[in-house]
Amino acid sequence: MCGIICVLSRPTRRATPTSNEILDLLDQAVNQGAENKIEALSKLVTQADVLLRGDAGQFCLADNHQLVAAMISRLDQLDAVVAGYEQAVEQSAGVQTETSELALQQIISAKDALWELRNDRIRTARLVDALAGQGASNTARSGYFSIQQAFSGLDRLEVRGRDSAGVHVLVWGHGLKSNDKNIKSLIANRSDDSLFMSGAVRVTENAWSFVYKAAAEIGELGDNTRVMRSAVMADDLLRLCISQPNSQVAVLAHTRWASVGIISEPNAHPVNSEELERKHSDAYLVAALNGDVDNHADLRAQNSLRVAGPITTDAKVIPALVSGDWRQPPR
C-alpha cells in the first residue's frame, strides 16, 4: 500500500488578516460562550479559522508570538466553555430529543472549529517557522508552507506504508543561474547522483528539482518525515532558491510499503526520468506510483532503458518512458 501527495500553489491574492481581526472574532466567541450560545460561538471561531487559512493566514501568524499566545489563551477559555456545555447537555438529556441532538451537533461543530485553529493553523505556522527560519520573506514562507503541507500529508498517510518515503520540490521563477560561482559550490556533488537519492538536485532550463528521501525497514511512524524535515531545513541551496521574489513551488511526495524493489533510497519514490548516459532531456519528469507495473521488466527490455543497477523499483519505467515519448517526433 502507498500514499501520494501533490501540492500545487499559486501566489495568494487575499489580504493578510490583522491580529486585531482574529482576536476580535475570538473575543466575540468568548462572549457568546458566556451566554451558552454555542452555535454563535462556533460560527465566530470558524470565521477566524477561514481568515487564517492558506498563505494569507500563514503571513499573519509568521513569527507573531504575541498573537499566538493571545489566541491560545482565548482558545483555552473556549474549550472550557464547550466542555462545560457538553457536560450539562449530557447530564440533562436522559432521553435523546430533537433539542438535545441539535445541541450535540452544535458542540461537535464548535469542537471541530477550535481544533482546526489550534492544530491546523497555529501548529502549522510553528512548523513553517521552523522550516523557513526567522525573518523569512512571504515568498519563502509560501514555498515552505507547501512543503509542510506535504509533510503533514505523509504523517497521515504513513499508516498505508512507511518503509520508504520521498518529497520532491520543484522550484521555478527564481532567476538563479547555475553557473554563478557562489551557486556552483552549493550544487557540487548533488547534480551527478545517478541514483537520485536524498539531497540530489537537478537543474533544468526552467526549473530546479530537489529530492529528499528516507528508507528504513524497521522504524516508527514519523521517523521518515523527521529525517526529511531535517534535510530540508539544512538545505541552503533550496532556501536560496525558494527565497527569490518570484519563486513558485510544486511538491510531490510519496510513502509506501515496497512491493517491487528492495527498501532503499534509490527505490524510494518520487523517481525521475533520467537514464544512464541520457541525463539531459527537454522532457525531465518526476513520478510516484501507487500500485504495481506488472510488466516493468519487459518494458525495460523492450525499450532498452538504461537504468542504474540499484534502481529496481517498477515505478522508474513511468517517467523514463513518458520522457522518451516526448523525445520522439509526433506520430
**What is the C-alpha to C-alpha distance for residues 202 and 204, in angstroms, rounded to an integer?**
6
| Cβ count within 10 A of residue 210 | 25
Contacts of 80 (CB under 8 A, 6+ apart): none
Beta strands in 198-330, from DSSP E residues, in sequence order: 201-203, 207-215, 248-256, 271-272, 286-287
**What is the C-alpha to C-alpha distance for residues 280 and 101, in angstroms, rounded to an integer?**
63
The type of residue at 152 is S
Residue 4 lies in a domain: no
Helices (H), 202-295: 223-233, 236-242
Q: Are 3 and 160 in contact (CB under 8 A)?
A: yes
Q: Tell me phi and psi for residue 108, to 5 degrees.
A: -60, -45
**What is the C-alpha to C-alpha distance for residues 249 and 131, in angstroms, rounded to an integer?**
15
Residue-wise pLDDT for 234-267, tens only, equals 999 999 999 999 999 999 999 987 788 899 999 9
- Residue 85 sits in the same domain as residue 154: no
- Residue 94 sits in the same domain as residue 231: no
- Residue 21 sits in the same domain as residue 146: no
- Residue 93 sits in the same domain as residue 230: no
- Residue 77 sits in the same domain as residue 29: yes
Single residue among 72, 98, 132 that ends a domain in this structure:
132
Residue 5 lies in a domain: no
Domain interval for residue 309: 138-327
Which residue bears the cell 461543530? 109
Which residue bears the cell 482565548? 74
Residue 1 lies in a domain: no
Residue 199 lies in a domain: yes
Q: Are 327 and 301 in contact (CB under 8 A)?
A: no
**What is the C-alpha to C-alpha distance for residues 104 and 85, in angstroms, rounded to an integer?**
10
**What is the C-alpha to C-alpha distance for residues 217 and 158, in angstroms, rounded to an integer?**
13
- Residue 188 sits in the same domain as residue 315: yes
Contacts of 83 (CB under 8 A, 6+ apart): none
Q: Measured on CA atoms in the order 12, 15, 19, 21, is the torsion positive or negative? A: negative
Single residue among 105, 132, 159 that ends a domain in this structure:
132
- Residue 186 sits in the same domain as residue 144: yes
What grid cell was written down for 107? Answer: 458542540
Residue 21 lies in a domain: yes
Each of the 331 residues of the chain gets a pLDDT tens digit; together they read: 689 999 998 889 999 999 999 999 999 999 999 998 999 999 999 999 999 999 999 999 999 999 999 999 999 999 999 999 888 888 775 555 667 788 888 899 999 999 999 999 999 999 999 999 988 999 999 999 999 999 999 999 988 777 899 999 999 999 999 999 889 989 988 998 999 999 999 999 889 999 999 998 888 888 999 999 999 999 999 999 999 999 999 999 999 877 888 999 999 999 999 998 765 555 899 999 988 898 999 999 998 899 999 999 999 999 999 987 765 655 5
The type of residue at 167 is V
The bridge status of strand 164-172 relative to strand 248-256 is antiparallel
Contacts of 265 (CB under 8 A, 6+ apart): 164, 195, 197, 198, 213, 214, 215
Residue 6 lies in a domain: no
**What is the C-alpha to C-alpha distance for residues 164 and 211, in angstroms, rounded to an integer?**
13
Helices (H), the chain: 19-34, 38-51, 54-61, 65-92, 98-115, 123-132, 138-157, 181-187, 223-233, 236-242, 296-302, 317-327
Q: Are 199 and 231 in contact (CB under 8 A)?
A: yes
Single residue among 132, 161, 185 that ends a domain in this structure:
132
Q: Tell me phi and psi for residue 174, to 5 degrees.
A: -80, -25
Residue-wise pLDDT for 138-193, tens only, equals 999 999 999 999 999 999 998 877 789 999 999 999 999 999 988 998 998 899 89
Q: How many domains does the chain have?
A: 2
What grid cell was written down for 178? Answer: 547555475
Q: What is the DSSP letter of 116?
A: I
